[in-house]
Amino acid sequence: MKVSANGRYLETDDGQPFFYLADTSWSLFYQTEQDAARYLRNRKEKGFTVVQPCCVFEVYREEGLFVRNFEGEAAFLGDTLKEPNPRFFAHVDRIVDIAEELGLVVAMLPSWASFIISAKWRPSNLLFDRQTAKAYGRFIGARYGDKPVIWVTGGDRCPENDEQIAVLRAMVDGIKETDGGGHLMTYHPSTRPALSSSRWFHNEPWLDYNMMQTSTKWWDTYAFILHDYNLQPAKPVVDGETRYEHSHRDFGKKTGPRMLPRHVRQAAYNAMLSGALGHTYGCRDVWSFHVPGDEEPKRDVDTHWQDAMDFPGAFHMGHLKRLFTDYPWHRLVPDQQHELVSKQTITYAQLDRTDIAEVASGASTESMTYIPAARAADGTFAVVYTPVRQSFAVDFGRIDAERAKARWFNPRAGEYVDAGEYPAAGEIEFTPPADEEDADYALVVQGV
């Protein structure tokens, strides 16, 4: 895998654009081989291309030591970070092999960042220092250097001081020394205070693409993607953890409205039409491999993971992939100046977030009507998405042809419906089809 020459998307080694459609699967390596295989097959069938699991994971702060897998094995022997457990990693090997057989890329987190950053509550013997971080990096880089792996450093935390950054760099250096090269690398942050890896690491040579976490919020996700899209030098960007399907907006307290499939779809289309390299779906019932029991669940979960894998939003991500491979995402340029779409309720300029840290520190918006749009760089086609049933106008003069046809794309069914053919000049007003199930639609305009 490599970054495209224009710094906007990922490519396979032979130069083919790679559509990054990921699923958060943080605790995958802690499940049985049978359950892991069932999960991976399900995601492959739905069109996912990437899974995001973590090796040295933590779930709850009250667990002072390591999380253990289904066999009772932890990632390290004893109570330090000095000796990787061969039995634990032999199991990880088998799951990575299954993913490879299915053609899935493993965006692997070597460690949750709480083993570097959260010194306030984790025992000091369970925090990496520069020496142990580099040794572990060398170990894991060598072990998976010949596998279809992307390295995702960090893990739901942002560095708080220079020493923590130095420890992270030591792990990066260790991986780079032994993985043979050719593996992409990014950083998975928290929503606070950074939101995106770009705040800390955009100019770091090891960071190949930016990753952000908008989490279970109703933030204007397109604004965050556009922020990173506009940075120089250009690097691809992806939302690595966003609106979890079925979770409450305030998942810690289990309050507020739940994230419905339409909220999940809106975050995905916002990202894709704002320049993202792809998108990440997630569901807490799935990544935790939740099985209902007598104990009160602690992570806003209530559905067996095998049932939650088939929540509607997961299917809708496959439809998203179809649209943006039928009309290649890597050729699209975001319509930031609203030259393509007018007469919409709200514009990007009204909600521009120049300081994403300010938003992440507490400000939150709920602009559920914004219409993101993008046009192919050569003007041959354009894609528009409306999250609600509203009228908007498209400037057909932006299409490089004498005439252009329009098609509605139903993001719930993955089906196209003709919307007419018009001269490629002037504005044409559209209103999405009435739909009893939901109201969001994408409109594709293509020269003929």
Q: Any idea what DSSP says for residue 433?
A: P
Query: How much of the chain exceeds pLDDT 70, in percent?
Result: 92
Beta-carbon-side half-sphere exposure of residue 422 (alpha carbons within 13 Å): 21
193: preceding bond cis by omega (within 30 degrees): yes
Task: Using alpha carbons, select from 266, 429, 220 the residue that is nearest to residue 344.
Answer: 429
d(CA 281, CA 11): 20
Q: Give, in words, the CATH class of 337-447.
A: mainly beta
- pLDDT of 356 reads 52
User: Alpha carbon 229 to chain centroid distance?
Assistant: 15
Residues 114, 119, 120, 121: is their CA dihedral positive or negative?
Answer: positive
Q: How many CA atoms lie within 13 A of 205 on its CB side?
A: 2
- Which pTM was predicted? 0.94
Residue 16 has pLDDT above 60, yes or no: yes
Condensed to tens digits (0 to 9), the pLDDT of residues 250-308 reads 787 788 889 999 999 999 999 999 999 999 999 999 999 999 987 777 778 999 999 99
> How far is Cα of residue 74 from the mean position of the Cα atoms in its chain?
27
Element (H, E) at 212: strand 210-213
Q: How confident is the model at residue 67 (pLDDT cuts 50, 70, 90)?
A: confident
Cβ count within 10 A of residue 297:
16
Q: Do 173 and 166 meet the contact criterion of CB atoms below 8 Å apart?
A: no
Query: Using 50, 70 and 90 to split pLDDT, how confident is the model at 191?
Result: confident
Average pLDDT, the chain: 91
* 86-119 exposure pattern, b = at least 16 Cβ within 10 A, e = fewer: eebbebbeebbebbeeeebbbbbbbbbbbbbbbe
The yes-or-no verdict on residue 29 having pLDDT over 80 is: yes
pLDDT for residue 249: 82
* Residue among 442, 321, 282 nearest 373 (CA): 442
Question: Which of 174-178, 233-237, 385-389 is least confident?
Answer: 385-389
Please tell me what DSSP assigns to residue 386: E
Assess contact for 202 and 237: CB atoms under 8 A: no
* Integer CA distances (angstroms), 423 to 373, 384, 409, 433, in order: 20, 18, 21, 22
Return d(Cα 345, Cα 353) in angstroms, integer. Answer: 18
**For residue 9, which amino acid is it?**
Y
First to last CA, the chain: 34
Tokens representing 69 are 């897998």
Cα–Cα dist 386/266, whole Å:
8
Give the Cα separation of 190 and 157 in Å (integer). 5
Whether pLDDT at 365 is above 60: no
Question: DSSP state, 30?
Answer: G
How confident is the model over 371-376, as a mean pLDDT? 95
Residue 188, both tokens: 């998975």
Nearest residue to 281 via CA among 301, 291, 267: 267
4 phi-psi bin (left φ>0, alpha ψ -120 to 50, beta other):
beta
CA 167 – CA 110 distance, rounded (Å): 13
Question: What per-residue confidence (pLDDT) applies to 163?
Answer: 94
Residue percentage of the chain with pLDDT more than 90: 76
Of 264, 265, 248, nearest to 256 (Cα)? 248
Q: Does domain 2-332 have CATH number 3.20.20.80?
A: yes
State the Cα–Cα distance between residues 49 and 34, nearest whole angstrom.
20
Helix, coil or strand: residue 287 = helix
- pLDDT, one tens digit per residue, over 305-362 is 999 999 999 999 999 999 999 999 999 999 988 899 986 655 555 544 445 555 544 4
Q: What is the DSSP letter of 291?
A: -
> Is residue 276 within 8 Å of 237, Cβ to Cβ?
yes
pLDDT digits over 92-110, tens only? 999 999 999 999 999 999 9
CA distances in angstroms from 402 to 108, 137, 328, 340, 430, listed in the order given: 48, 56, 22, 17, 20
Domain borders along the chain are 2-332, 337-447
Supply the pLDDT for residue 280.
Answer: 98
Q: What is the DSSP string of 236-273?
A: -EEEEE---TT-EEETTTTEEEE--HHHHHHHHHHHHT
